[in-house]
Structure formats: structure tokens, C-alpha cells
Amino acid sequence: MRFRRVYEVAGAKWNKNSEGAWEHDIVAYNLSIGCNHCEEPACVKACPTKAMHTLPDGITIIDPEKCVGCHYCEWACPYGAPQYNHKPGIMQKCDFCRDYLLEGKQPVCVTACPMRALEFGTISRLTEKFGDNRSVYPLPDPLLTKPSLFIKPHPDAERAIGIGATIINHEEVKK
């Protein structure tokens, strides 16, 4: 189970400068992604048993008693957050370390991030600190699910599209 994955996004092209010499144009950055506990979660809409649901605090969770492991939530989620656990035969996903939150602690991904690139807090505090940007290449259009995610994009993220950058560590981050 990989509730959080770090995508390596990279691409390059060659450009001829004004003197006729070839120069490389390289984009490379990492993007940590997990469940975004979306405001309009596609996984919840797709769940036929209502096992996937959103709590009043905005956290999207799976009721293991109702889950039949049909994969509908996985197929609907543009972020690949729900994953099938073969042992119990049900879908599972990040629950924002809900047990820790109830104890007043931060989610493990936030405290364990070696670069301190992840933060957790209220939507209003995160919006005030980072702005309302929820879009970065190669993530899907945020209008699909309205993810509860705010991103400070890498400076090269916009150039990544023109260079043809892709996720280069597919084997590591595959579902």
C-alpha cells in the first residue's frame, strides 16, 4: 500500500541559441501526492455501498464493514488514492492519520517528510499562507474534484508541459 507517492517529473529538449549552438532545457522536480480529501470526491460518488464517505471535518474515509472491494472508488479517483488490499479484500486509503488528529498530532506524512514540504492545517490557514493554487502539472484539473490541496509549484512546473515532461518513476509509484 502506497498512501503517499513521490512523483519524479522530468523532461528535456534542445534549443538552438542565437549563435547557432545547441543548449539543453531541462525540467526536473518532485511532487508528493496522496489522498487530497476533495471537496467533491469522485471516489465517494462512485462507491455503490456508501463505504466511501466524507466526515463533517472534510476527511474522506472508507468504512471497512461496508466495503466490498469493487474498485469503483479507485477507478474514479484521478489521484489513484484508494487502493485494493488483497489480504482483507477491501479498498483502503489515507485517512489523514485520523487517530493522530484526534490526539492533537499531525499526520505522519507531515512529520516524517525530510524536506518539510508538507503542511497540515485548516483550509483558511493554508490558503492564507500558500494562496489558492491547487493546480500543478501533471496533476488533473482541480475542477474535477476540488482537492483540499494547496501547492506551491516548482518554478519549472509551467515549462514542464512544453518540454514534454512526464512522471519518470512509474515503477516506484504505480498503484
Structurally, how many domains does the chain consist of?
1
What Å distances lie between residue 174 and 3, 26, 28, CA to CA?
11, 24, 19
pLDDT at 151 over 90: no
pLDDT at 159 over 80: yes
Q: Can you give the residue range of the structural domain that contains 101?
A: 4-173
Nearest to 175 by CA among 88, 93, 68: 93
Quickly state the pLDDT bin for 19 (edges 50, 70, 90): very high
- In this structure, what CATH number is given to the domain that contains residue 119? 3.30.70.20
Chain mean pLDDT for the chain? 93
pLDDT for the residue numbered 122: 86
163 φ, ψ (degrees, to nearest 5): -85, -15
pLDDT for the residue numbered 175: 55
Could you read off the pLDDT of 106-136 as tens digits, one per residue?
999 999 999 888 999 888 898 898 888 888 9
pLDDT for the residue numbered 132: 87
Residue type, 152: K
Could you read off the pLDDT of 20-50 as tens digits, one per residue?
999 999 999 999 999 999 999 999 999 999 9
pTM confidence score: 0.86
Q: Which residues does 136 contact at the CB level (< 8 Å), separation at least 6?
A: 31, 151, 153, 154, 157
Could you read off the pLDDT of 71-98 as tens digits, one per residue?
999 999 999 999 999 999 999 999 999 9
pLDDT at 168 over 60: yes
pLDDT for the residue numbered 69: 97
More confidently predicted of 173 and 39:
39
